[in-house]
Structure 1
Amino acid sequence: MSALPSDSRPPVPTAPAAPASAAAPRPRRAVDWRLKFLLLALVWGSSFMFIGIAAQVLVPVHITLGRMVTGLLPLAAVLLVRRGRLPRGARTWFHLSVTAFLLNVVPFTLFGYAGQLIPSALSGICNAATPLFALLFSLLLLSDERPTRARLAGLGLGFLGVLVVFGVWTGLAGAGPVGMLLAVGAAVCYGIGTPYLRRFLSGTGHSPLELSTAQLITGTVQIGIAAALFTDAPAALPLPVVAAVAVLGALGTGFAYVLQYAVIREAGATVATTVTYLAPVVAIGLGVLLLGEDLAWNEPVGALIIIAGAALAQYRPRRPAPVGG
C-alpha cells in the first residue's frame, strides 16, 4: 500500500512564516529511515524462523490465529492513539474480508504447513517471488498496468530463478518440493491480493493503518471460526512456541506495518518495496546460523536470480526533466 495515514484533525492557525534567513532549522528525526528499513527487513526475514519454531508444536491454523491476534493488538493501539476510524460500509468490509483471506489467512497458513516440511530459509527464498506474482496479476487485473520489455524480461528471469530453487533437473519428488509448492502458493496469494486491494480499497478514503487494522479484524474472525470448527486446542504450549507466535504476530504483522508506513512516508513507496530483496537474505542467514539449516547450492543461487528478476520487473527509467520553465 502506497498511501499514507491521514490526519483528520483540522489545521491549527499559525503565525506568518519568518524570512528564510531567520527560519529555524528543521528538527532531525529521532531515527533515520535507513535504520527503519533495515529493521523492517530483519523483522520480515526473521518471520520464517519463528514460523519454523511454532510449526514444531502447533498446527498451521493455530499459528495463523496467534499471528493474527498478536498482530492486530499493536495496530489497534496505534489506531486509537491516532484517533483513526474503521470503515462503515458493507461493501468495503466485504472487500476487506477478501483481502484478508488472500493476504493473511491463506498465505499465513500455507507458510505454516511449509514450515513443517522445509527449512525456514527456503520458505524465505520462495517468498522472494512475491513481487513477480504481484506484477503478473497486476498486469492481468489492473487496466493502468502495461507490460514492458523490462517487466516481461524480469518475470521470465524471476520464474527461471524459481525453477532453479526447485532444482527441476533433479525431479519433483519428496517433502521438499511439496513444502516449496506450499510456500510458492503463499507468494501467489500475495500476488493476487495486492492488485485486488489496490483495485477495490485504494479509493475508500481510509488510511493504510485504518484499512490494515480492519483487514486483520476480518482475518482474525475467519481464522478463528476455522480453528473452532476444524481443530482442537493444543494440550500444552511450550514457552518458546508462545514467544515465537507472539513475536511473529506483534513484530512481523503489527510492528512491521508501522515501520513500513514510516519508510514509505520518509523515503517513498519505491524504496519501501525493495525491502523484499533483503528479507530472503535475512531468512537464509538466520536459518543457517541460528537453526543449523542446510541449503543446497541451487537454493541461494535461485534466490539471487529471483531477486534480480524482481528488480528488473520493477525497473522504471527516469523521465528526462522538462526544459525551460
Structure 2
Amino acid sequence: MPVPTRDAARGSNTSIAVQFVLCGIVWGSSFLFMKVALTGISPAQVAWSRLILGGLTLALFVALRRDPLPRRPKVWLHMAVLAVSFCVIPFLLFSWAQQHVTSGLASIYNATTPIMTAVMAWLVFRVEKLKPAQIAGIIVGILGVMVIIAPWQGLDLSQSLVAQFAILGATACYGFSLAYMRKFVSNTGMSALVFSFLNIGIAAAIMAVLTPVLVLEPVTLDPWIVGSVVLLGCLGTGVAYIWNQNTLRAWGPTRASTVTYITPIVGVVLGIVILQEHITWNEPVGALIVFAGILLAQNRLRIPTRRSTPRTTVSE
C-alpha cells in the first residue's frame, strides 16, 4: 500500500480547508437567499424548494459515483429521524422567522448551534460529560443570546420576538441532530456523500408527500427569486452538505463546527450591503459573547486558575 507523501497530505488538508471556507460562505449567503425568495414565495415553499433541489443534486452525485446505500433498516430509521430534526423542522422555522427578522440577525442566531449541541449532548443524550468551564460556556452563550434579544427594550411578544425564539428552536433542532448523529450514526460506514444524500433526500421525500398541504399556493417569480431558490437548494442544501461532512470527518466535530464563526459574518455583511439592513449595537456584541461561550463550551478557552506555589522546607 503506497504511503501518502507529505505534499499529498498537505494538498488534502488544503482541499478540506477550501471546502470549510466555501461551506461557511455558502451557508452565510443562505440567509440572503431565503430573504430574497420570501418576496415571491411562502416560507413552506422556500423549505420545500431547497430540500427538493438539494435532494436531486445529491442524488445526481450518488448516481455518478455509484456509492452504495446502506441496507440495514435501522440506519434508514435513524436517518429518517435526522431528516425531520435536522432539515424539515428547522428549515420551516428559519423560513417562517425570516419574514419578521433581518437576514443578518438570523445568521447571528444560527451561531448558537454549538451551544445547543453541547446542551443536547450533555443533558439529553448523555454522550458527553461537561467540565465546569464548559457549563460556564453554556451560561455565557445564553447571556449572549439575551444581549441579542435586548429585553431592556421591552418584551411585547411581537412577531419579531416570536421569530427570534423560532430561530432558537431551529438551532436547538440542529443541536439535537448533531448529538443524535454522534450517538446513533457515527459508525455506520456511510460515505460523506451518501450520508448527505439520505439526510436531505429523505427530508425531500417527506416534503413531497406534504406538497398538497404546504406548497400549493400562488407564487410570484422573477430572476432574482428563481436564482436565490436554485442557489439555496442546489448549493446551500446540496453541495455544501458534502463539504461539511468531508470537513467533519477530516477535522472532527470541534474544528468543523467553527464554520459558525464564518456564517454570521457573511450573513451580516450581505444583509447590510445588498438588502440595506440595519444592525444595532447589541447584535454584534451579543454575537461576540456567544462566540466566547462556544469557545468555553468546546473546551478551547480555559479559565485561568491560581496555581499554588509549593512550599519549600529548610533543613536545619
Q: When the two structures are superposed, what TM-score results if normalisation uses the length of structure 2?
A: 0.87
- Cα gap change, 1:257 to 1:135, in 2 (>3 Å): same
Separation in 2, partners of 1:26, 1:304: 37
8 Å CA contact 1:87, 1:211 repeated in 2: no
Alignment match, 2:185: 201
Paired residues, what number?
300
Alignment of 1:114-263 (within 5 A): 114-173=97-156, 174-263=158-247
Aligned residue among 70, 79, 101 for 2:62: 79
Residue 175 (structure 1) shift: 2.6
Residue 164 (structure 1) shift: 0.5
Residue 224 (structure 1) shift: 1.8
Alignment match, 1:7: none
Deviations 1:82-128 (A, max 9, x none): 32122233332222111111100010111101111010001011111
Residue 244 (structure 1) shift: 0.6
Separation in 1, partners of 2:268, 2:284: 8
8 Å CA contact 1:97, 1:219 repeated in 2: yes
Alignment match, 2:305: none
Deviations 1:17-43 (A, max 9, x none): 8xx9xx896486396443332212111
Residue 76 (structure 1) shift: 2.0
- Cα gap change, 1:33 to 1:216, in 2 (>3 Å): closer
- Cα gap change, 1:279 to 1:26, in 2 (>3 Å): closer
- Cα gap change, 1:97 to 1:25, in 2 (>3 Å): closer
Q: Partner letter of residue 191 of structure 2?
A: S
Q: Partner letter of residue 179 of structure 1?
A: A
**Structure whose residues are more often helix by fraction:** 2
- Cα gap change, 1:86 to 1:59, in 2 (>3 Å): same
8 Å CA contact 1:87, 1:214 repeated in 2: no
Between 1:46-55 and 1:253-262, the stretch displaced more is 253-262
Separation in 2, partners of 1:121, 1:309: 20
Following superposition, which runs of at least 4 residues in structure 1 exceed 6 angstroms of deviation?
none
Q: Partner letter of residue 297 of structure 2?
A: A
Separation in 1, partners of 2:161, 2:269: 21
Separation in 2, partners of 1:231, 1:33: 37
Separation in 2, partners of 1:122, 1:302: 11
Structure 1 gaps of 5+ residues are 1-12, 319-325
RMSD (CA atoms): 2.4
Residue 201 (structure 1) shift: 1.9
Residue 283 (structure 1) shift: 0.8
Q: Partner letter of residue 160 of structure 1?
A: L
- Cα gap change, 1:84 to 1:191, in 2 (>3 Å): same
Residue 307 (structure 1) shift: 1.2
Separation in 1, partners of 2:134, 2:265: 23
Residue 39 in structure 1 maps to residue 59 in structure 2: no
Residue 196 (structure 1) shift: 1.6
Separation in 2, partners of 1:225, 1:309: 40
8 Å CA contact 1:61, 1:227 repeated in 2: no
Alignment match, 2:79: 96
Separation in 1, partners of 2:159, 2:142: 21
Separation in 2, partners of 1:25, 1:183: 43
Q: Secondary structure of 2:11's partner?
A: coil
Residue 129 (structure 1) shift: 0.6
Q: Secondary structure of 1:85's partner?
A: coil
Alignment match, 1:65: 48
- Cα gap change, 1:185 to 1:317, in 2 (>3 Å): closer
Q: Secondary structure of 2:279's partner?
A: coil
Separation in 2, partners of 1:131, 1:179: 20
8 Å CA contact 1:61, 1:223 repeated in 2: no
Q: Partner letter of residue 131 of structure 2?
A: T
